Amino acid sequence: MIDQHEKRWYAVLTGSRKEKFVVDLLQRKGITSYLPLVKRTRRYASRVKTHEVPLISCYVFVQIADDERVAVLETEYVYRYIQFSNKMSVIPDDEIEVMMHVVGEYDDVDLADERQFGQGDCVELIAGELTGLKGTVLEGRGSKRYLVRLESLDLNLTWTIKSSQLKKASK
């Protein structure tokens, strides 16, 4: 049986471009929240500027116990919890940790060998901080970019990674 006071991770849907604001409001309430950010460089007519933008638009992750659910929903620009089959989707701690590593690692990695993975292949990372992560390749984008689905989030994350750091895994 799951303890009612055990804190678990959930994803909430927020207003567009309000993710950072929502994280600030949640932290003021004492609610642990996480917003994975990536750096994007934009070129303007007179300058080049780097911005931090959410990895997943309109998503913020919260770590709460059951009695904190309402406090999250009462936060401005939080619309609802992400649900699957009409149930709030609990996100495993290790997948949150994986996202924390993904946004800080694997920016531009060169292809180390000729290993290739195809659509539908179950893969596992065998090197680096993300060792042990499993996912399904939805699409190969060249010989070194892969679109991988993390099942419990029901989201697709794309990152550039050496094919030598992947191995085929059983489903």
For CA atoms 119, 9, 82, 29, give the dihedral sign.
Answer: negative
| Highest CATH level, class, for 122-168 | mainly beta
Q: Where are the domains of the chain?
A: 8-91, 122-168
- The CATH number of 8-91, from 1.10.3720.10, 2.30.38.10, 3.20.20.140, 3.30.70.940, is 3.30.70.940
pLDDT > 70 fraction of the chain, expressed in percent and rounded: 73
pLDDT exceeds 90 at position 59: yes
One fold for 8-91 and 122-168:
no
Q: What is the pLDDT of residue 110?
A: 33
Please tell me which residue, 116 or 6, carries the higher pLDDT value.
Answer: 6
For CA atoms 32, 61, 39, 131, give the dihedral sign.
Answer: positive
pLDDT exceeds 80 at position 48: yes
- 33 — pLDDT class (breaks 50, 70, 90): very high
Q: Say how far apart CA 88 and CA 3 lie, in whole Å.
A: 16
The pLDDT of 20-46, averaged and rounded, is: 91
pLDDT exceeds 90 at position 84: no
